[in-house]
Structure 1
Amino acid sequence: MKKLPASLLSTLTLLLVLAFTQCQRPEEPLAPQPLLPKAKMVAMLIDVHLNESRVDAAALPPDSARAAFNLLHRQLLTRYNVTDTIFQRSYRYYAIHDKDLDDIYGAVIDSLSAREAKLGAKDQAEAAKRRQ
C-alpha cells in the first residue's frame, strides 16, 4: 500500500476537522448568574403585563404613559428585589431558549386569563345585584 504525502495527509486531516466542527451544534449561551427562576419570572411578567394594562387604561399622553410605566416597573423590581439588569438578562436567556419562554408565557397567559374570568364573574354578580 502506497503512503500518502505528508502535505496531502495534513490537508485531508484539516478538511476532516473542519467538516466535523461544522456539524456540531453551536454552543449554548451560558445562563446569566444569577438567573431568575421560572416561577419568579412568571410572577414578574404577570405584573409587567398588568402594569401595561393599567397604563393603557389611563389613556395618558405617550410621554406620561412612559413615565408612569417606568415608575411602576421600578416599583415592581423593588418589590421582587431584582435589578433591571438581572431581569433583562434572564428574559434574554429564556427568549433564546424558546421552549422555556413558551412554558413561562403559557403560565402567564393562564394566570391572566383566570384573573380576567374572575373579574368578569365579579362584574356580572355586581350587575345582577344592581338590577334587583
Structure 2
Amino acid sequence: MASLLAVPDLALSLRAVVKHYGSIAAVDGLDLDVPEGTCVGLLGPNGAGKSTTMKMLTAQVIADSGDIEVLGHRLPDDSKAARAEMGVCPQLDNLDTSLTVEQNLLVFSYLYRLTRAERKPAIERALQVAN
C-alpha cells in the first residue's frame, strides 16, 4: 500500500526563478511545483510574467537565475529532451501568414535552437508528416 505522504513525481519544478528584461523583473523569484498528471493554468494580469514563465518552461527564453526542471530534464541544458516529451498549446497560433510553411518552420527551428545541421532534416520531416 502506498504511503499517504508519498511525494508524487513532478512534471515541473521551478526554484527561485528570475527573468529580467532590462530593469523590469518579469519573473522575480518564482517557486512552483506541478505534479505529473496535473492540469495547470497560469492566470494573472498583463505583465504578471505568465508568458515569460511559459517561454522559460519551453526554453525559448533562458532564466537569469534559478533552477527549472521539466519532466526530469534541467533547463536549459537538456531542453531538447524536455521539449521532445512535452506538448504546449498556445493561446494563439504564432504563424506568420506572410511566410511560406517552410519559412515558418525555419523560424521555429531557430526558436527551438536546432543546430544548422538539424534544421533541414527536421523541416523535411515536418513537411512529410503534414503532407
**Greater strand proportion:** 2
**TM-based fold match above 0.5:** no
**Greater RCO structure (CA 8 Å; 6+ sep):** 1
TM-score range, shorter chain: under 0.3
**Greater helix proportion:** 1
Q: Compare CA radii of gyration and give the structure with the larger one.
A: 1
